[in-house]
Amino acid sequence: MAIMFCKLYFLPDIRENLGTQKSKELLSTLGKRLNSCIRSGDTVIHWENDKYALLMPQVNGIDEIAKINKRIKQSVEQSFKLGDTTVTLNGSLGIAVYPQDGSDINILLANANIALERAYQSKETYQFYNESMNSQALVALELEILLQQALDKKEFKLYYQPQINLNTGKTEAIEALLRWEHPEFGLVPPNNFIKSAEATQLIVPIGEWAIRQACQQNKAWQQEGLPPSRITVSLSSVQFQQTNLVSKIAEILTETVLEPQLLELEISAVSLLNNIEYSKTTLQNLKGLGVHIAIDDFTEGFSILEYLKHFPLDTLKIDKILVQQLAQSPKDLAIANALIGLGKGFDLRVVAEGVETQEQVDLLRNLDCQQMQGFWFSRPLEASETSKLLSLNDSESDTLGQIADSLMQESID
C-alpha cells in the first residue's frame, strides 16, 4: 500500500482570482486528470485547499509509483483552458509506503505529508519519506515556534543601506534589510530563517511588519526634517502570491501616512514567472497605488525577458554575486553590461548591489551604471545612524564610505 499527497503551487490564490464558477471548473478538470493517471482500485481525494491524497492499495514496487508520479506531473502541468482564461499549475508529491513507512493509516498519512512538505519546499517533483525526515521536521517545528515567538516579542529589526547616485553623490533610495535579534543567539542573518518562514507561511506577517516598519521609519525621517527618500522593501514569493497583497499595502500606506511614491517593493524575477497573468495584474494594481516596483535576482530568470515589457517595473537590480565577479570574469562583465543596457532600454532605474571595492565602482561606472549600494558606500545601519547619513546627503559619493564607517564606529563605541 502507498499513499501520495499532491500539493499544487498557488492553487488557492488562483481559485480566488478566477471566481466561483471557473474555480469549480478548474477543480473538476483537475480531478478528472488525476483520476486518469491512477489505476483501477486507486482513489483520489480532494484533501484540503491545494492538497490531494492518492490512495493506492496495491503497488508493485517503487518503479510503478514513479511511473504514476510522472503521469501526474505531465497531466497537471498541461495548461487549463477555462473560457477566456488560461491557468498553469505546478505540483509536488510526497509518498509513504506500507509497511516500512508506517504500520497504520494515520502514520502513513503523517509521513506522506512530511515527505510532501520536503518536496514542496525544494520544488522537487516528488519525495519518498525516510526516517531522517522526522528529526528534520522536529527541527523545522522548533524553528517555527522560535519565529512565532520572535514576531510576538518584537525581536525582528530593520537595518538600512543607502543606494547612491554617483552623478549627484546623494542617496537615491534606502533599502530596508530584515534582521532577527535573538536574545541568546544574537543577530541572525535572513539566510538562516527566511526559507523556514516561507515554508510555514510566517513570512506573511513578518513581511507585513517589515513593510509597515519601513514606512513608519521613512515618515519619521521626514518629520525630522530630512529630505524625502524612497524606501525599498523585499517581498518574498509567498507574500507576492497573497491575494490581499494590494489591499494590505494600501492599508499600510494609509496607516503610516506615507506618500506611495516613497515606497518601492522589490520582487525576484522567478516569483513573477510562477503565474504570469497573476503577476501582471498584481503589479499593475500595485502601480495603481503609486508605489514603485523593483525586480531582483534577474540573472536567475532569463526566461522573464519574454514578459519584461508587460510588467510595470521601475527598477532593475544587478545581483551582488554578479557584481563581486566582475573583476575576475569577462563573461560576468558582459552580462552586467547587457543588464544595464536592458534596464536603460526599458527606462528602468538600474542599481548594482553588493559593491565593496573601488575597482567594482570603476567597472560599473565604465558600464554607465550610476546607482549602487554596498559596503563601499555604507554597511547596513540602524535607523539613528541612517538619519545622520541622510542629513549629510549633499556629501560627495567618494566620502560616503568614510561617513558610514564613522557612524558604524560610533554605534560600536
Mean pLDDT, range 350-367, rounded to an integer: 94
Residues 259 and 319 in one domain: yes
pTM of the model: 0.65
3-state SS class at 60: coil
Domain that holds residue 291: 143-412
Over the Cα atoms of the chain, what is R_g? 24
Tell whether 136 is covered by a domain.
no
Mean pLDDT, range 155-168, rounded to an integer: 91
Residues 213 and 164 in one domain: yes
Mean pLDDT, range 48-69, rounded to an integer: 77
Q: List CB contacts of 5: < 8 A, sequence separation 6 or more.
A: 47, 51, 52, 53, 54, 93, 94, 112, 113, 115, 116
Tell whether 189 is covered by a domain.
yes
* pLDDT for the residue numbered 245: 94
Tell whether 52 is covered by a domain.
yes
Residues 121 and 156 in one domain: no
Q: Which helix (H) or strand (E) holds 199?
A: helix 194-199
* pLDDT for the residue numbered 163: 92
CA–CA gap between residue 262 and residue 230 (Å, rounded): 4
Question: How does residue 203 score in pLDDT terms, banded at 50, 70 and 90?
Answer: very high
Report the CATH number that the domain containing residue 65 is assigned in CATH.
3.30.70.270
Residues 114 and 188 in one domain: no
Give the domain-ending residue among 68, 97, 130. 130
Amino acid (1-letter code) at residue 200: T
Tell whether 335 is covered by a domain.
yes
Residues 91 and 157 in one domain: no
Cell of 165: 547616485
Residues 210 and 317 in one domain: yes
Share of the chain above pLDDT 90, in %: 34
Report the CATH number that the domain containing residue 252 is assigned in CATH.
3.20.20.450
Query: ∠200-204-209 over CA atoms, to 5°?
Result: 130
| Number of folded domains that form the chain | 2
Give the domain-ending residue among 95, 130, 165. 130
- Who wins on pLDDT, 348 or 404? 348
Residues 100 and 18 in one domain: yes
Residues 111 and 161 in one domain: no
CA–CA gap between residue 235 and residue 258 (Å, rounded): 18
Mean pLDDT, range 369-378, rounded to an integer: 93
* pLDDT for the residue numbered 17: 63
- When mean pLDDT is compared across 55-69, 179-193, 359-373, the lowest value belongs to 55-69
Mean pLDDT, range 305-325, rounded to an integer: 86
Each as own residue / partner, the long-range contacts of residues 181-186 (CB below 8 Å, 24 or more positions apart, any chain) are 181/155, 181/156, 181/157, 182/146, 182/150, 182/155, 183/155
Give the domain-ending residue among 130, 163, 185. 130
Share of the chain above pLDDT 70, in %: 84
Residues 105 and 234 in one domain: no
Tell whether 137 is covered by a domain.
no
Instruction: Give the tens place of pLDDT for each residue, 106-154.
Output: 788 888 888 887 777 766 667 778 766 555 555 566 677 888 889 999 9
Tell whether 135 is covered by a domain.
no
- Who wins on pLDDT, 92 or 10? 92
Q: In terms of Cα–Cα distance, which of 287, 266, 173, 285 is closest to 221?
A: 173
Residues 13 and 46 in one domain: yes
Residues 113 and 183 in one domain: no
